[in-house]
Amino acid sequence: MQKNAPIGIFDSGIGGLTVAHAIKAELPNEDLIYFGDTAHLPYGDKSTATIQAYAIKIADFFLQQQCKVIVIACNSASAAANELLKEYVASRATIINVIEPMVDYVAAHHANQQVGVIGTKQTINSNIYANSIASKKVGIRVSSLATPLLVPMIEEGFLHNNIAQDIIQKYLGDESLAHINSLVLGCTHYPLIKEELNIFFEGKVDMLDSSIITAKSLKEFLAQNNLLNGALAEGNNSFFVSDLTESFKHSAKLFFGKPVVLQKHQLWE
Protein backbone atom coordinates (compact mmCIF):
# COMPACT_ATOMS: atom_id res chain seq x y z
CA MET A 1 0.00 0.00 0.00
CA GLN A 2 1.26 3.45 -0.93
CA LYS A 3 1.09 6.45 1.40
CA ASN A 4 -0.38 8.66 -1.28
CA ALA A 5 -3.08 6.15 -2.24
CA PRO A 6 -6.67 7.28 -1.62
CA ILE A 7 -9.07 6.23 1.12
CA GLY A 8 -12.34 4.69 -0.04
CA ILE A 9 -15.52 5.28 1.97
CA PHE A 10 -18.92 3.78 1.23
CA ASP A 11 -22.49 3.74 2.45
CA SER A 12 -25.91 3.15 0.92
CA GLY A 13 -26.65 6.88 0.79
CA ILE A 14 -25.91 10.18 2.51
CA GLY A 15 -25.29 8.79 6.01
CA GLY A 16 -21.69 7.89 5.30
CA LEU A 17 -21.01 11.52 4.47
CA THR A 18 -20.91 12.09 8.23
CA VAL A 19 -17.95 9.70 8.33
CA ALA A 20 -16.32 11.24 5.25
CA HIS A 21 -16.66 14.72 6.76
CA ALA A 22 -15.13 13.59 10.05
CA ILE A 23 -12.26 11.85 8.24
CA LYS A 24 -11.57 14.99 6.21
CA ALA A 25 -11.43 17.03 9.42
CA GLU A 26 -8.93 14.60 10.98
CA LEU A 27 -6.95 13.93 7.80
CA PRO A 28 -7.20 16.97 5.50
CA ASN A 29 -4.28 15.91 3.30
CA GLU A 30 -5.74 12.53 2.36
CA ASP A 31 -7.45 11.89 -0.97
CA LEU A 32 -10.97 10.58 -0.37
CA ILE A 33 -13.19 8.59 -2.72
CA TYR A 34 -16.78 8.31 -1.54
CA PHE A 35 -19.26 5.83 -2.97
CA GLY A 36 -22.94 6.19 -2.19
CA ASP A 37 -24.92 3.14 -3.27
CA THR A 38 -28.01 5.25 -3.84
CA ALA A 39 -29.53 2.71 -6.24
CA HIS A 40 -29.93 0.23 -3.40
CA LEU A 41 -30.63 2.30 -0.29
CA PRO A 42 -31.45 1.71 2.45
CA TYR A 43 -29.30 -1.27 3.47
CA GLY A 44 -31.04 -1.62 6.83
CA ASP A 45 -33.90 -3.72 5.55
CA LYS A 46 -31.83 -5.87 3.16
CA SER A 47 -30.71 -9.46 3.81
CA THR A 48 -27.14 -10.20 4.86
CA ALA A 49 -26.42 -11.96 1.54
CA THR A 50 -27.71 -9.00 -0.47
CA ILE A 51 -25.60 -6.47 1.46
CA GLN A 52 -22.56 -8.69 1.04
CA ALA A 53 -23.09 -8.79 -2.72
CA TYR A 54 -23.24 -4.98 -2.87
CA ALA A 55 -20.18 -4.64 -0.64
CA ILE A 56 -18.05 -6.94 -2.80
CA LYS A 57 -18.89 -4.96 -5.94
CA ILE A 58 -18.05 -1.69 -4.17
CA ALA A 59 -14.78 -3.17 -2.88
CA ASP A 60 -13.89 -4.10 -6.47
CA PHE A 61 -14.43 -0.47 -7.45
CA PHE A 62 -12.16 0.78 -4.67
CA LEU A 63 -9.47 -1.76 -5.50
CA GLN A 64 -9.52 -0.50 -9.08
CA GLN A 65 -8.88 2.97 -7.63
CA GLN A 66 -5.96 1.46 -5.65
CA CYS A 67 -7.34 2.57 -2.29
CA LYS A 68 -5.09 1.82 0.68
CA VAL A 69 -8.03 1.67 3.11
CA ILE A 70 -11.71 0.92 2.59
CA VAL A 71 -13.97 2.38 5.29
CA ILE A 72 -17.38 0.72 5.68
CA ALA A 73 -19.25 3.89 6.64
CA CYS A 74 -22.46 1.99 7.32
CA ASN A 75 -23.44 0.01 10.39
CA SER A 76 -25.64 -2.41 8.46
CA ALA A 77 -22.83 -3.22 6.02
CA SER A 78 -20.31 -3.38 8.86
CA ALA A 79 -22.48 -5.97 10.61
CA ALA A 80 -23.16 -7.98 7.46
CA ALA A 81 -19.98 -7.78 5.39
CA ASN A 82 -16.97 -6.81 7.51
CA GLU A 83 -15.39 -10.27 7.83
CA LEU A 84 -16.17 -11.17 4.22
CA LEU A 85 -14.55 -7.98 2.92
CA LYS A 86 -11.45 -8.51 5.05
CA GLU A 87 -10.98 -11.91 3.44
CA TYR A 88 -11.82 -10.63 -0.02
CA VAL A 89 -9.38 -7.71 -0.16
CA ALA A 90 -6.68 -9.63 1.78
CA SER A 91 -3.36 -7.77 1.52
CA ARG A 92 -4.57 -5.40 -1.19
CA ALA A 93 -6.23 -2.94 1.21
CA THR A 94 -7.24 -2.59 4.85
CA ILE A 95 -10.88 -2.72 5.92
CA ILE A 96 -12.04 -0.42 8.71
CA ASN A 97 -15.67 -0.45 9.83
CA VAL A 98 -17.70 1.85 12.07
CA ILE A 99 -18.62 -0.74 14.72
CA GLU A 100 -15.30 -2.00 16.09
CA PRO A 101 -13.89 1.48 16.96
CA MET A 102 -17.16 2.33 18.72
CA VAL A 103 -17.16 -0.90 20.74
CA ASP A 104 -13.57 -0.23 21.85
CA TYR A 105 -14.48 3.34 22.80
CA VAL A 106 -17.55 2.31 24.79
CA ALA A 107 -15.60 -0.36 26.66
CA ALA A 108 -12.84 2.13 27.53
CA HIS A 109 -15.04 5.05 28.59
CA HIS A 110 -18.41 3.68 29.74
CA ALA A 111 -17.63 0.66 31.90
CA ASN A 112 -20.36 -0.40 34.37
CA GLN A 113 -22.95 1.85 32.71
CA GLN A 114 -26.17 1.24 30.84
CA VAL A 115 -25.65 2.01 27.16
CA GLY A 116 -28.39 2.34 24.56
CA VAL A 117 -27.91 1.43 20.92
CA ILE A 118 -30.23 2.56 18.13
CA GLY A 119 -29.87 1.40 14.54
CA THR A 120 -31.48 -0.25 11.56
CA LYS A 121 -33.20 -3.63 11.78
CA GLN A 122 -30.17 -5.28 10.16
CA THR A 123 -27.76 -3.84 12.73
CA ILE A 124 -29.92 -4.43 15.80
CA ASN A 125 -31.07 -7.92 14.78
CA SER A 126 -27.46 -8.96 14.23
CA ASN A 127 -26.80 -8.27 17.96
CA ILE A 128 -23.31 -7.21 16.93
CA TYR A 129 -23.14 -4.28 19.37
CA ALA A 130 -24.59 -6.19 22.32
CA ASN A 131 -22.38 -9.23 21.74
CA SER A 132 -19.21 -7.27 21.00
CA ILE A 133 -19.62 -5.01 24.04
CA ALA A 134 -20.42 -8.01 26.26
CA SER A 135 -17.21 -9.70 25.08
CA LYS A 136 -15.21 -6.84 26.63
CA LYS A 137 -16.46 -7.91 30.10
CA VAL A 138 -16.50 -4.43 31.63
CA GLY A 139 -19.95 -4.55 33.19
CA ILE A 140 -21.83 -2.63 30.51
CA ARG A 141 -25.57 -3.29 30.17
CA VAL A 142 -26.78 -2.80 26.60
CA SER A 143 -30.31 -1.80 25.58
CA SER A 144 -30.81 -2.11 21.81
CA LEU A 145 -33.67 -0.66 19.78
CA ALA A 146 -34.36 -0.82 16.05
CA THR A 147 -35.39 2.57 14.67
CA PRO A 148 -36.06 1.83 10.97
CA LEU A 149 -37.98 4.99 10.06
CA LEU A 150 -35.12 7.33 10.93
CA VAL A 151 -33.04 6.57 7.80
CA PRO A 152 -35.78 7.25 5.21
CA MET A 153 -36.83 10.29 7.25
CA ILE A 154 -33.30 11.68 6.99
CA GLU A 155 -32.81 10.67 3.35
CA GLU A 156 -36.02 12.52 2.44
CA GLY A 157 -34.92 15.66 4.27
CA PHE A 158 -37.34 15.57 7.21
CA LEU A 159 -34.73 16.71 9.72
CA HIS A 160 -35.96 19.67 11.72
CA ASN A 161 -39.75 19.61 11.72
CA ASN A 162 -42.73 18.17 13.56
CA ILE A 163 -42.58 14.91 11.61
CA ALA A 164 -39.01 14.30 12.80
CA GLN A 165 -39.91 15.21 16.38
CA ASP A 166 -42.87 12.82 16.44
CA ILE A 167 -40.85 9.89 15.10
CA ILE A 168 -37.94 10.56 17.46
CA GLN A 169 -40.24 10.81 20.48
CA LYS A 170 -42.00 7.59 19.51
CA TYR A 171 -38.74 5.66 19.33
CA LEU A 172 -36.72 7.20 22.14
CA GLY A 173 -39.67 7.08 24.51
CA ASP A 174 -39.38 3.29 24.46
CA GLU A 175 -39.08 1.85 27.96
CA SER A 176 -35.84 0.03 27.05
CA LEU A 177 -34.02 3.38 26.80
CA ALA A 178 -35.43 4.88 30.00
CA HIS A 179 -32.31 4.51 32.16
CA ILE A 180 -29.39 4.74 29.75
CA ASN A 181 -26.27 6.83 30.46
CA SER A 182 -25.14 7.05 26.85
CA LEU A 183 -26.54 6.34 23.41
CA VAL A 184 -24.64 4.75 20.53
CA LEU A 185 -25.80 6.26 17.26
CA GLY A 186 -25.66 2.91 15.48
CA CYS A 187 -26.28 4.29 12.01
CA THR A 188 -24.12 6.86 10.23
CA HIS A 189 -27.25 8.81 9.26
CA TYR A 190 -28.06 9.55 12.90
CA PRO A 191 -25.44 12.26 13.59
CA LEU A 192 -27.57 14.41 11.27
CA ILE A 193 -30.27 14.45 13.96
CA LYS A 194 -27.94 14.44 16.96
CA GLU A 195 -29.24 17.82 18.11
CA GLU A 196 -32.82 16.55 18.15
CA LEU A 197 -31.80 13.39 20.01
CA ASN A 198 -29.93 15.46 22.57
CA ILE A 199 -32.96 17.70 23.09
CA PHE A 200 -35.16 14.67 23.74
CA PHE A 201 -32.83 13.46 26.49
CA GLU A 202 -32.42 17.03 27.83
CA GLY A 203 -28.65 16.80 27.51
CA LYS A 204 -28.46 14.08 30.18
CA VAL A 205 -27.33 11.26 27.88
CA ASP A 206 -23.96 11.17 26.10
CA MET A 207 -24.37 10.93 22.32
CA LEU A 208 -21.73 8.56 20.92
CA ASP A 209 -21.07 9.50 17.30
CA SER A 210 -19.40 6.71 15.32
CA SER A 211 -18.30 9.09 12.55
CA ILE A 212 -15.96 10.98 14.88
CA ILE A 213 -14.70 7.87 16.66
CA THR A 214 -14.07 6.05 13.36
CA ALA A 215 -12.14 9.01 11.94
CA LYS A 216 -9.85 9.12 14.97
CA SER A 217 -9.34 5.35 14.78
CA LEU A 218 -8.44 5.60 11.09
CA LYS A 219 -5.91 8.35 11.77
CA GLU A 220 -4.31 6.23 14.50
CA PHE A 221 -4.11 3.21 12.18
CA LEU A 222 -2.49 5.20 9.36
CA ALA A 223 0.05 6.75 11.76
CA GLN A 224 0.97 3.42 13.33
CA ASN A 225 1.47 1.81 9.93
CA ASN A 226 3.37 4.70 8.34
CA LEU A 227 0.58 5.25 5.80
CA LEU A 228 -0.24 8.92 6.37
CA ASN A 229 -0.20 10.94 3.18
CA GLY A 230 2.73 13.32 3.47
CA ALA A 231 1.37 15.83 0.96
CA LEU A 232 1.27 19.43 2.17
CA ALA A 233 -1.74 20.41 0.08
CA GLU A 234 -5.32 19.50 0.91
CA GLY A 235 -6.35 16.18 -0.56
CA ASN A 236 -8.89 15.69 -3.32
CA ASN A 237 -12.47 14.52 -2.76
CA SER A 238 -14.23 12.38 -5.36
CA PHE A 239 -17.88 11.37 -5.14
CA PHE A 240 -19.43 8.41 -6.92
CA VAL A 241 -23.00 7.14 -6.74
CA SER A 242 -24.78 4.16 -8.23
CA ASP A 243 -27.75 6.40 -9.06
CA LEU A 244 -27.74 10.19 -9.43
CA THR A 245 -30.07 11.90 -6.96
CA GLU A 246 -30.58 15.56 -6.13
CA SER A 247 -30.87 14.84 -2.40
CA PHE A 248 -27.38 13.32 -2.32
CA LYS A 249 -25.93 16.21 -4.30
CA HIS A 250 -27.53 18.72 -1.93
CA SER A 251 -26.34 16.87 1.20
CA ALA A 252 -22.78 16.55 -0.08
CA LYS A 253 -22.66 20.30 -0.70
CA LEU A 254 -23.84 21.00 2.86
CA PHE A 255 -21.16 18.75 4.35
CA PHE A 256 -18.20 19.95 2.28
CA GLY A 257 -19.12 23.61 1.98
CA LYS A 258 -19.08 23.69 -1.80
CA PRO A 259 -20.78 22.01 -4.73
CA VAL A 260 -19.52 18.53 -5.52
CA VAL A 261 -19.28 16.78 -8.84
CA LEU A 262 -21.10 13.46 -8.76
CA GLN A 263 -19.96 10.66 -11.02
CA LYS A 264 -22.24 7.74 -11.72
CA HIS A 265 -20.85 4.23 -11.43
CA GLN A 266 -23.26 1.32 -11.70
CA LEU A 267 -22.37 -1.75 -9.70
CA TRP A 268 -23.78 -3.99 -12.42
CA GLU A 269 -23.62 -3.08 -16.09
Is 187 annotated as catalytic? yes
- CATH no. for 100-210: 3.40.50.1860
Spatial contact of 98 and 128, defined as CB atoms under 8 Å apart = no
> What is the 3-state secondary structure of 179-197?
CCCEEEEECCCHHHHHHHH
> What local confidence, expressed as pLDDT, does residue 109 receive?
97
The CATH class of 7-97+212-264 is alpha beta
Spatial contact of 200 and 167, defined as CB atoms under 8 Å apart = no
- Residue 75 burial (CB count, 10 A): 33
Active-site residue, selected from the candidate residues 107, 187, 193, 252: 187
Q: How far is CA 46 from CA 37, 131, 205, in A?
A: 13, 21, 30
> What local confidence, expressed as pLDDT, does residue 269 receive?
66
Q: Element (H or E) spanning 10, and its range?
A: strand 7-11
pTM over 0.85: yes
Active-site residue, selected from the candidate residues 69, 74, 118, 140: 74
- For CATH 3.40.50.1860, list the domain ranges present in the chain: 7-97+212-264, 100-210
pLDDT by residue for the chain (269 residues), tens only, comes to: 799 999 999 999 888 999 999 999 999 999 999 999 999 988 988 999 999 999 999 999 999 999 999 999 999 999 999 999 999 999 899 999 999 999 999 999 999 999 999 999 999 999 999 999 999 999 999 999 999 999 888 877 777 788 889 999 999 999 999 999 999 999 998 998 999 999 999 999 999 999 999 999 999 999 999 999 988 899 999 999 999 988 788 778 777 777 888 999 999 86
Q: For residues 31 and 27, what is the distance between their CA atoms, to the nearest angstrom?
A: 9
Is 74 annotated as catalytic? yes
